[in-house]
Amino acid sequence: MAFEYIKEKVYSNQRLTRKEGIALFKSNDLLTLGRMATHAAEKKNGKRVYFVRNMHINPTNICVNRCKFCAFSKTKGEPGAYEMSVDDILDKARAADKSVREFHIVSGLHPDLPFTWYLDMLRALKKEFPKIHLKAFTAVEIDYLSKISGLSVIDALLKLREAGLGSMPGGGAEIFNAAVRNTLCAEKIGGNRWLEVIEVAHRVGLKTNATMLYGHIESYEDRIDHLLKLRDLQDKTSGFQAFIPLSFQPHNTEIKKSAYTTGFDDLKTLAISRLMLDNFDHLKAYWVMLGEKIAQVSLNFGVDDLDGTVVDERIAKAAGGTTDGSMTKDEIVHLIKQADRTPVERDTVYNIVKVWK
């Protein structure tokens, strides 16, 4: 397929098809992809690049699922398994920098903690930190909490929201293709269930993100099909804020792979995501997995968001992530300015806190 034809479509704001998305993945004209993605990003966000001051909290790594790509999860009783009490979580939150605006909270699927424990945790955090946004629980966790509580997804979400839940992160989407998903994480909910849970969250007014785990055993076709399912749901609900491709980190996992994804593939995947997801406002480069340098270069490949300061990231680190899992606000601002973009500090739902001139 001629690249020129796709270019014309991009510059005249026409939606790309599955076939065109696959053709883009098969092309190696990275700089043209970058220019097209930058055009699409600037139409939405100008030169602005967003970040949030946040802190990750992972209350437990004990998980009843055994996803082959995950080096973070442990079985109860296994060396390295941990669970934090609500007091431990409060202590961790108290140690956060006073400027933090978001706690990003995700866990394994714990076999014994009751639903009320999660409500107590949210309430305790909200009581002590009323101004900090709680972005918590992937769709996989919400499905699990609904099962252990005997509540419908909608009722579980309403109770969690009442206790302080502000929005949901985009994890657990992995790759929707059923055969690949079955090889990677047979016990995990299927792709359609992930989409169903997210749709319910959007319907009750909770914003979410979406992710895609790439660079393992999936094909380009699987990546495009994943993006198209997200695009279809976003057409229905407009509830997604940002899309975040997650580059597979292979160490300590059960997936035989000796290398990280390449910078070329990372930039291509980000650019094509920007071009396919014409109804998503934001494309996030998760620097913890990509590395700070590729994340910075990605600002010329359609990215308008660098996530945040993160602090004490554990999931990528367990799988051999090469960054130290936290960046200061000044370091993020420096990366953005050096790429000739405008740093914008935001809150979780993209209200602007500060724009750097």
Within 13 Å, how many C-alpha atoms sit on residue 222's CB side?
Answer: 18
For ligand V47, the closer of residues 300 and 348 by Cβ is 348
Min. distance of Cβ 96 from ligand V47 in angstroms?
Answer: 17
For ligand V47, the closer of residues 21 and 215 by Cβ is 215
- How far is 275 from 330, CA to CA, in rounded Å? 30
State phi, psi for 127 to the nearest 5 degrees: -65, -45
Min. distance of Cβ 194 from ligand V47 in angstroms?
Answer: 10
For ligand V47, the closer of residues 35 and 181 by Cβ is 181
Residue nearest to ligand V47 (CB): 171
Q: What residue ranges bind ligand V47 (CB under 6 A)? A: 69-71, 138, 169-172, 174, 209, 211, 213, 244, 246, 248-249, 253, 286, 289, 307, 315, 319
For ligand V47, the closer of residues 174 and 225 by Cβ is 174
For ligand V47, the closer of residues 35 and 188 by Cβ is 188
Min. distance of Cβ 10 from ligand V47 in angstroms?
Answer: 26
- How far is 321 from 315, CA to CA, in rounded Å? 8
Query: 248 to each of 30, 151, 210, 302, how far by Cα in Å?
Result: 20, 34, 16, 20
Q: Give the DSSP letter string of 305-347.
A: EEEE---S--HHHHTT-SS-S---HHHHHHHHHHTT-EEEEE-
State phi, psi for 105 to the nearest 5 degrees: -120, 115
Min. distance of Cβ 70 from ligand V47 in angstroms?
Answer: 4
The tokens of 10 are what? 């991009």
Min. distance of Cβ 346 from ligand V47 in angstroms?
Answer: 12
Which residue's structure tokens are 């500060």? 354
The DSSP H or E segment spanning 33 is helix 30-45
Query: Residues 6 or more apart from 217 whose CB is under 8 A from it?
Result: 180, 183, 184, 255
For ligand V47, the closer of residues 175 and 276 by Cβ is 175
Other beta carbons within 10 angstroms of residue 287's beta carbon come to 25
Min. distance of Cβ 242 from ligand V47 in angstroms?
Answer: 6
For ligand V47, the closer of residues 68 and 126 by Cβ is 68
Min. distance of Cβ 213 from ligand V47 in angstroms?
Answer: 5
